[in-house]
Structure 1
Amino acid sequence: MPTLHQYLHCPFCVRADMAANYFGIEHKKNYLLNDDAETCDKLIGAKMVPILEFDDGTAMGESLDIVAKLEAMAPEGKKLLPKVEPEKYTCHFDNVSGEINGLLFPRNVMIEQPEFATESAKDYFRTKKEKTLGMSFDEAFSNSTSYKERVEAALAEMPVPPLPAQQMNQLGWNDIMVFPILRNLTMVKDINFPDALDQYVHAVADLTKIQLYTDVAV
């Protein structure tokens, strides 16, 4: 049985998790501590997740490569719908990437998650991501209102991807690219998704058995 090494909060890990769950591939889920570089180095020679480890001890990284591998392992006839201009959705994230990071990075360690089960794992993440933000997590969190307004404006302009129900309850490559960021934004308390986009997020979460953060949002 393969093992999917991952973090709960990582959008790249969500891609792999979506595919594994959707295809019904029996596998183990292993949530690494965020400061566990040793396991990653041993498996693929670099600290990155997700990692798909096979029974023979071989392993692979890169989320989209893992999704493609899982698709090849899927039951006959169960494939992802083709990728069709996902950038028409993802460009709206790109335009507010700094604001998204400002919202999510502090919340990642505020919410109870397995990869942050130790203080050293939290400290490792905080040190790294505060450098990316150019400010402390406390300062970024204090800017939540302005970040949230800009992200909500981008979500309001974003076209809504087709619901699974509109595609014979099938998952597509576009969903693999689009859903993980939307899912992570559910950790922001009271963030306003347009109704149709909110319906999409919940529908894909149900189809792929991915946990949303709505109940623990900060």
Structure 2
Amino acid sequence: MKLYIYDHCPYCVKARMIFGLKNVPVELVVLLNDDEATPTKMIGKKMAPILQKDDSRYLPESMDIVHYIDKLDGKPLLTGQTNAAIGEWLRHVQSYSQHLLIPRIAKAPFDEFATPEARAYFVKKKEALIGPFAEHLAHSPGLIKKISDDLRKLDKLIVQPNAVNGELSEDDINLFPLLRSLTLVAGVEYPSRVRDYRDNMAKQTQINLLSSVAI
């Protein structure tokens, strides 16, 4: 199987997680960010992730891919209950975290930006969506304090480092991608349970954190 992704994309991280958790082999293919033709040829529009299954058919949508792989062997892993408080925390943080993340993603050495054209494509699209990156970067100190405060609230919700609610669930698939993205932001303070959970989940899923290229 092949999984077509962007490395920065949290939806792609969701799809990648289930392969790591279940030790299912998959070939990762990073699309250039300005490559509209390849995904459109596969599924009729530009989006990622896209799974090319063993029968060569294509499956888009991150959670559809997660459920497909999780149930493929008849032994699903994501059997735990979800916690409404985790969903509420994610909705709150996602309401402002993109202003921290997107300008930094645009500067980072992701393979989807291997050409100047691919990076420029991303910048043009995202600045049209959220406004000039320079303005958001100027507000970073306040946003970093805000996310650090919110991570302290998350710390109280984490039950175990290997599963946020004590048993693997869709909450883990939704939470870890954001925590991984936040490692791209220098200066964020992580309480111990959040840090342990993030690091453990990175090992379980075999997905690298972004601390080494933090901005």
TM-score, normalising length from structure 2?
0.91
Q: Where in structure 1 do 4 or more consecutive aligned residues deviate above 3 Å?
A: 165-168
SS in 2 for 1:160: coil
Q: Which amino acid aligns with 2:158?
A: V
Q: Distance in 2 between matches of 1:9 and 1:165?
A: 23
Say whether residues 1:84 and 2:82 are aligned partners. Answer: yes
The structure-2 alpha-carbon separation of the partners of 1:92 and 1:44, relative to structure 1 and needing over 3 Å to count, comes to same
Q: 196, 200, 218: which is aligned to 2:197? A: 200
For structure 2, the residue ranges without an aligned partner over 5 or more in a row are none
Aligned residue type for 2:162: P
Partners of 1:60 and 1:166 lie apart in 2 by: 28
Verify the 8 A CA contact 2:163 2:169 in the aligned structure 1.
no
Identical positions, percent = 32
Hey, what's the Cα distance between the residues in 1 that align with 2:16 and 2:81?
18
Aligned match of 2:183: 186
Instruction: Report deviation, 1:78.
Output: 5.2
Matched with 1:157 is: 153
CA RMSD, aligned part only?
A: 1.9
Q: Map of 1:36-185 to 2, 5 A cutoff? A: 36-74=35-73, 77=75, 79-85=77-83, 87-133=84-130, 135-158=131-154, 159-164=157-162, 171-185=168-182
Shift of 1:82: 2.7
Q: What secondary structure is seen at the aligned counterpart in 2 of 1:79?
A: coil
Contact 1:18 1:210 in 2 (8 A): yes
Q: How many residues align?
A: 213
Give CA deviations for 1:97-137 in whole Å, capped at 9, x if unaligned.
3431111101112110101111111111111111221x211
Q: Give deviations 1:32-55, integer Å, cap 9, x for gaps.
A: 011111111111111111100124
Q: Which structure 1 residue ranges, 5 or more long, are not aligned?
A: none
Counterpart of 1:140, as a letter, is H
**TM-score normalised by the chain length of structure 1:** 0.90
Aligned residue for 2:29, secondary structure, equals strand
